Structure 1
Amino acid sequence: MTTTTSRNDLLSGTGHAWRDAAEQDEQLARLVWAHIAEPRDAKAHLLVDGVGYPEALTAVRTHPEKLANFAARLEQLDLPEQLRRIETFGARILLPSDDGWPERLDDLPQPPHALFVVGEADVRSLCERSVALVGARAATHYGQRVAAEIALGVGSHGVAVVSGGAFGIDAAAHRGALAGDAGTVCVLPGGVDRLYPSAHDALFSAIREQGAIVSEMPLGFAPMRQRFLHRNRLIAALTPGTVVVEAGLRSGSLSTARRAEEIQRVVGAVPGPITSAASAGCHELVRDGAAVLVTGADDVIELMAGYGAQQTTRDTLPALVKPEDAVGATARAVWDALPVRRAASVDHVATSCGRTPREVLTALGELLAAGLAEKVDGAWRKA
């Protein structure tokens, strides 16, 4: 954490002098807001977006009757003591001004005020090449095996796994990544000192050694129900794509997929038996067009288009008979959306195939190199 006011100044300060400092220091004010507001509190975000973090704290102090929920927490907050706890616990603070801040979080409509991290790994670097693997807590043996195999497989290509540390699919994904010596990031719904579930203490210890444990909740904050939903949006935002391995129709992991879709991340879903309620949520995502069906690590690598071509088990299949089969999944989707005669703009193609303009441009380059598309007066069509 780097702020105009040094941590040592705060630790040696007395009384509430730190409050005056926070009303002058953007990053310090962010840290205070992380303690006094829930992650997706619309009122808090509206206030700080409107006047800035320090000025928003001034508003809480001068108008406590209008901002009572924040004022009550501010009055109870002992920030120097919290900083001592963080230092003693071995955690660190990440703020947007820090080099290690994962910039993908800024894509969220309500990004975290700050992050609290344990583990030596660089969160930003790990998440650059990563995939979120999520799913049901009450997972079947099939789901857990597939999650572990996918995590192990993508890890062999240098892709880290991001998940939530819960029972079932999350734990299997973390364990698969750890087994392959790949990086993994666990995002918690409570403070990093309130590990949940406690039965996973050994798993959390391994993650700290090989990856990182992250939360937007300060130390001491319990993993309450609403904070699980807040946490899910961070899992979706940290990575370029989310894969739901197994989920029922009411699984909380579906909210992670929906948040990923909202912020233009790719989404995949693993199929299960059509009679399995544990996979009904995955089937719904595919049926609704919200997710691409994936069956293993090779499909996930292909889904993360920016990770490049890989040698896969498809090399053992019969020779390709269609020219468009020689390109990746995104390029095929773009090729399908291209008109035959009258060329279309990139934005028009993106709308037609449900991809972002940036994804479409990348795919068009692949199609152009393969001789499947051509550019005419700034627009595109099938070659």
Structure 2
Amino acid sequence: MTLFGLEESVIVGLARGVHPGGDESERDAPADVFARAAWTGIAEPGDGVAGLLVGSLGASVALTAVLETWTPERLAVTVRESGVAGEELESELEQGLQRWRPRLSSAEVIHSLQQAARVSARLLLPSDPLWPASLDDLGLHAPIALWWRGDPAAFHALPHAVALVGARAATGYGEHVAMEAAAGLVDRGFAIVSGAAYGIDGMAHRAALASEGITLAFLAGGVDRHYPTGHDALISRIAEVGAVVSELPCGAAPTKWRFLQRNRLIAAAGAATVVVEAGWRSGSLNTAGHAAALGRPLGAVPGPVTSPASAGCHRLIREFDAVCVTTAAEMAELAGEGVWALDRIEAEGAAGGTDSRTSEEIRVLDALSRRSPRPVPDIARRAGMSTAAVLGALGALDLDGVVSERETGWVSIGRGT
């Protein structure tokens, strides 16, 4: 018997290699594990149409529909039968199929599953007891599955976790505040969530580990690709006593778009988000926006009024009603209090409003090379977009002077990116 064009025994073996705790009495369990693993590579993080399709039909049926080249009309009828309505449903599904089909590769799925088993990575499904229920607040944009390495107990600490984020180019002041905050929160029984980046993220993780606390790092690439490479030892240590988590399969490279999407997981996972230090256009403001959109309490640490590194925090406090927090005690109080309404930052930050590029433009730039021209179909496959959307983004980027068309394809020329 075959599943997804492969021998059933192959599917079962690969699924058990990354999800050994599944209920083997359920015949469809290995198929669901394999299908969700495949979807983590087929769809980009936060793809709401993929979330809709998988949520309506189940991961296995949804994958089968893409493999068997169902028409958008047939898919829309099937989705509506599950109780989902929408005037633009057929159009959204058609665009989704254009994004997903170029990425269909059983060889790549098999390779990512084999690599995950080699590095002892596991796949977490929404039906698993360890699944972070807070991520379900993302709705259709919630992860289809999560890849992780580490101690399962780390997931039990998420309901009492605080996300500490901030600038990569942190000052000594910012790193000192992050260290004191993380250690103080750990002493109060909180776990620390962050993104393992340089600067504030790294200091927050290190302080939590030094205080023998639990910390979780959400990555923008595969859990087998430690990024930044300078934090290889830190991320390895987090994987030993905490957890390293990603919604991308092993081998996946981090890109600017994936960092922005990763931020929504950091914001959703914590009971509160605190921006420790951030410039006016810091990426951590994107995390703050996601926190506001989800109704999570948001705090910001003030800094010297003359410091550009704290301008983003001051903006959050002045313009978006973030709570001014200066100590671990105040951050802990924030995590235990009610919801703060931050409508303006929800509108700007959740959509990545701190970046002048559209999401499509960011993804196309991520997919381009500065040396090797790439044709439109290759760019579409790398970006997880339809060719029509790629052409539209390339047109805008060409007018802005940051891409150029060569005889064999398009290249990034770097200006303004």
Fold match (TM-score > 0.5)? yes
Structure with the larger RCO, 1 or 2 (CA within 8 Å, 6+ apart): 2
**Aligned match of 1:293 in 324, 337, 350?**
324
Amino acid at match of 1:192: V
> Normalising to structure 1: TM-score of the pair?
0.73
Given that residues 101 and 123 in structure 1 are in contact (C-alpha distance below 8 angstroms), is that contact kept between their aligned partners in structure 2? Answer: no
Which residue number in structure 1 is paired with residue 354 of structure 2? Answer: none
Which residue number in structure 1 is paired with residue 408 of structure 2? Answer: none
Which residue number in structure 1 is paired with residue 37 of structure 2? Answer: 31
The gaps in structure 1 that reach 5 residues or longer are 14-20, 307-329, 331-349, 356-383
Which residue number in structure 2 is paired with residue 47 of structure 1? Answer: 53
> Does residue 1:190 correspond to 2:193, yes or no?
no
Given that residues 135 and 169 in structure 1 are in contact (C-alpha distance below 8 angstroms), is that contact kept between their aligned partners in structure 2? Answer: yes
Secondary structure of 1:108 counterpart: helix
Which residue number in structure 1 is paired with residue 118 of structure 2? Answer: 88
**Aligned match of 2:128 in 94, 98, 107?**
98
The gaps in structure 2 that reach 5 residues or longer are 1-7, 17-26, 72-93, 343-417
> Does residue 1:275 correspond to 2:306, yes or no?
yes
Please give the alpha-carbon distance, in whole angstroms, between the structure 1 residues aligned to 2:302 and 2:10: 50
**Identity between Structure 1 and Structure 2 (%):** 49
Given that residues 183 and 210 in structure 1 are in contact (C-alpha distance below 8 angstroms), is that contact kept between their aligned partners in structure 2? Answer: yes
Please give the alpha-carbon distance, in whole angstroms, between the structure 2 residues aligned to 1:299 and 1:191: 34
Which residue number in structure 1 is paired with residue 168 of structure 2? Answer: 137
Please give the alpha-carbon distance, in whole angstroms, between the structure 1 residues aligned to 2:158 and 2:300: 20
Which residue number in structure 1 is paired with residue 67 of structure 2? Answer: 61
**Aligned match of 2:267 in 236, 258, 271?**
236
Given that residues 100 and 123 in structure 1 are in contact (C-alpha distance below 8 angstroms), is that contact kept between their aligned partners in structure 2? Answer: no
Larger radius of gyration between Structure 1 and Structure 2: 1
Given that residues 138 and 168 in structure 1 are in contact (C-alpha distance below 8 angstroms), is that contact kept between their aligned partners in structure 2? Answer: yes
- Report the Cα offset of residue 12 of structure 1: 10
Amino acid at match of 1:37: A
- Report the Cα offset of residue 30 of structure 1: 2.0
Please give the alpha-carbon distance, in whole angstroms, between the structure 1 residues aligned to 2:30 and 2:149: 28
- Report the Cα offset of residue 27 of structure 1: 4.3
Shift in CA distance, 298/202, structure 1 to aligned 2, threshold 3 Å: same
Please give the alpha-carbon distance, in whole angstroms, between the structure 1 residues aligned to 2:62 and 2:12: 23
Amino acid at match of 1:92: R
- Report the Cα offset of residue 261 of structure 1: 0.8
Please give the alpha-carbon distance, in whole angstroms, between the structure 1 residues aligned to 2:217 and 2:30: 33
Secondary structure of 1:133 counterpart: strand
Amino acid at match of 1:85: Q
Please give the alpha-carbon distance, in whole angstroms, between the structure 2 residues aligned to 1:55 and 1:277: 51
Which residue number in structure 2 is paired with residue 347 of structure 1? Answer: none
Structure 1 range deviating more: 37-46 or 152-161: 37-46
Alpha-carbon RMSD: 2.6
Given that residues 295 and 341 in structure 2 are in contact (C-alpha distance below 8 angstroms), is that contact kept between their aligned partners in structure 1? Answer: no
Alpha-carbon displacement from aligned partner over 1:86-136 (angstroms, at most 9, x marks no partner) = 111111111111111111110013001111111124232121211000000
Alpha-carbon displacement from aligned partner over 1:196-225 (angstroms, at most 9, x marks no partner) = 110111211221222111111110000111
> Does residue 1:304 correspond to 2:335, yes or no?
yes
Please give the alpha-carbon distance, in whole angstroms, between the structure 2 residues aligned to 1:12 and 1:274: 54
Given that residues 102 and 123 in structure 1 are in contact (C-alpha distance below 8 angstroms), is that contact kept between their aligned partners in structure 2? Answer: no
Which residue number in structure 1 is paired with residue 184 of structure 2? Answer: 153
Shift in CA distance, 11/76, structure 1 to aligned 2, threshold 3 Å: closer
Which residue number in structure 1 is paired with residue 277 of structure 2? Answer: 246
Secondary structure of 1:63 counterpart: coil
Which residue number in structure 1 is paired with residue 12 of structure 2? Answer: 9
Please give the alpha-carbon distance, in whole angstroms, between the structure 1 residues aligned to 2:110 and 2:247: 18
Amino acid at match of 1:53: A
Shift in CA distance, 284/11, structure 1 to aligned 2, threshold 3 Å: closer
